Amino acid sequence: MPDGVQIDTDKVGEVGRDLQTDAESGFAVAADRGASLHRHGVEFAARLTPSSAATEAKIRYAQALANTEANLRAHHAAAGVLAGAAQEIARLFATSDMTSAHAQRKVQDLIHDAVRAADAAVGSTTDGAV
């Protein structure tokens, strides 16, 4: 077995394209739909006499909705970053001699940068989650 990374560039490119499709037609659509469905705000208990329990429940519900929508948007961003990295890696492998140390370092850097960017996108929504 040769040293270094071996890759099926068609499969990696396919993964990248699938991630991009999921990002655009999955996470983004779900976030937009959630925002549209809840644009009117939290209406439950609107006709009841105000109480601290109902008010607290409405506040927590509104926070949960906001966090869910933020998480969907962050996952959309993360999926886009990872899709781009997968597509770039496939392109690099398909067009260069990937046995070289320089090419392998480039792939490692792409993976590292994509994971860090995806973590940052997703991690920014977990602060103060309900």
Would you write out the chain's pLDDT as a tens digit for each of its 130 residues? 455 556 677 888 888 888 888 777 777 777 778 778 777 777 776 666 677 888 888 888 888 888 888 888 888 888 888 888 888 888 877 776 656 777 778 878 888 888 898 888 887 655 544 4
Distance, CA of 115 to CA of 121 (rounded, Å):
10
Give residue 1's pLDDT: 42
Do 121 and 70 meet the contact criterion of CB atoms below 8 Å apart? no
Domain boundaries along the sequence of the chain: 9-123
Distance, CA of 8 to CA of 17 (rounded, Å):
14
Give residue 55's pLDDT: 82
Distance, CA of 82 to CA of 87 (rounded, Å):
9
- Phi, then psi, of 4 in degrees rounded to 5: 95, -170
pTM for the full model?
A: 0.61
Do 97 and 111 meet the contact criterion of CB atoms below 8 Å apart? no
Give residue 22's pLDDT: 78
Query: What letter does residue 41 receive in the DSSP assignment?
Result: -
